Structure 1
């Protein structure tokens, strides 16, 4: 299995992957596959989350059943299926390659099979909530391609490409992200180095290797920010971001962020902690949402305030972590490791 820009090749089934850039009007999902002779059905699902059992809310469930001569279309909300739509026959034959194209439009999904329009399916769930594509059943998928506003050909945002991360992360010097994170608050009586001006941002690192250990020149202080863009691997289990007091194993860790997509009993959890003198502190696990998905680009900003770190992902505030280790200037190393590909890292 390989992942290149907005194409997934020969994925294992069940496939669960993020939709790069989200689902927008004009987004196309093109699936080339074959249903073996000994299999009876499969499904393609546009979901509002990655869970398969119990299934996340599903805006479009597209379920070809050649033995029954139909393709069932439906939606799932709060574990309850809606009204099935079955008309149109089943132009998919066992043992023969086929292509399905799902085009998101303002009021409905438009689906074609083998180059011919097959059906429209009106939106029952707001398309803005859809962030995951799943494929289940006995199908053999050759490729999945994302085109349109969120994909390869018309991706003017471009930030899910390894070479085109400039969209959100490269241009932010305050604007929306500072609004999302709020102004830095300085404790009374403390003097800090002034944060770098917007005219002299740090030099970005493009496509750095993972694991990445890099120096934070001048340490941390209120107003300092780290920008991290990356893509969790197709089968990602976890990845970790540490702000450390030194580059070595065993260095004190001021902020340990462990993104757990699937680790033992943990699924879609962000564990935060600190480590001093070899001893871990108390874990913090609550977050209002989990923004990371396999194959889907993320843009993260970690900003220091006087009494806490603030973290935003994809232009939305995510969480805070109160400082346990002082002074912040001890923090001189960024470590990123785990199941992801980094596209850009910048310290400002």
Structure 2
């Protein structure tokens, strides 16, 4: 069974560095670029460029360049008409040699919000029209396990209901409760990306029903037990529990290990079909859960509780 990402979602895994790839449909406000990677112990620098073309010498709207040079810093700049512009230097190093990192670039009308390891790090104001950006270039001493571009052009764009909910990778982001835009519909996929900390016991994802306490789909990975429990809570009663699935894809601390043997972020994707929910973890099919409430379009809220740290949620 193949994982079907939602429209507006472009994903690449285990990038070959140097990497130069297109941004489907170009960049625009409302989009976000998410990457998770690892730095070697003896690295000196790497870069991430949002470029206006694929040829060498193309304009660069945003240049992010961490440098370990004795005066550790992160340099931001742009490259226009063959010339580097004024550097913006942050003398604070959020990256660490030999460790994993998370980098999120959130595009808005004024500039790029750059978040690193769950915290807001720097805001870079636009120097070139964001619509000119059509390629992403990553190079030098870095490993990138996952690259996700959210909000890319498709049959339905962000105005049609897709949105990114960036969280700040902190425990305060959980519990999470918010409305699902337009409710659950056939073929809709919700992507939840986050990390299960060392020693975590369990966390829960609930799809809740409008105007009630009913839970149409209750998904609880019991990490220490290595099982996934599924159930529903309707009219004040829990239904028949399903827990026949062994769960190792998110088990702490052994899953999604990067080369430095530390836990990295994992991705749960839940796709709504006409008869069932289909659950995928890191692109691999995990389980199904048949609808117990009809019409399932009544489901309009997503709740996440327990021992998990959120990175983003994509509707």
Give the TM-score, by structure 1 length: 0.44
Structure holding more strand per residue: 2
Give the TM-score, by structure 2 length: 0.49
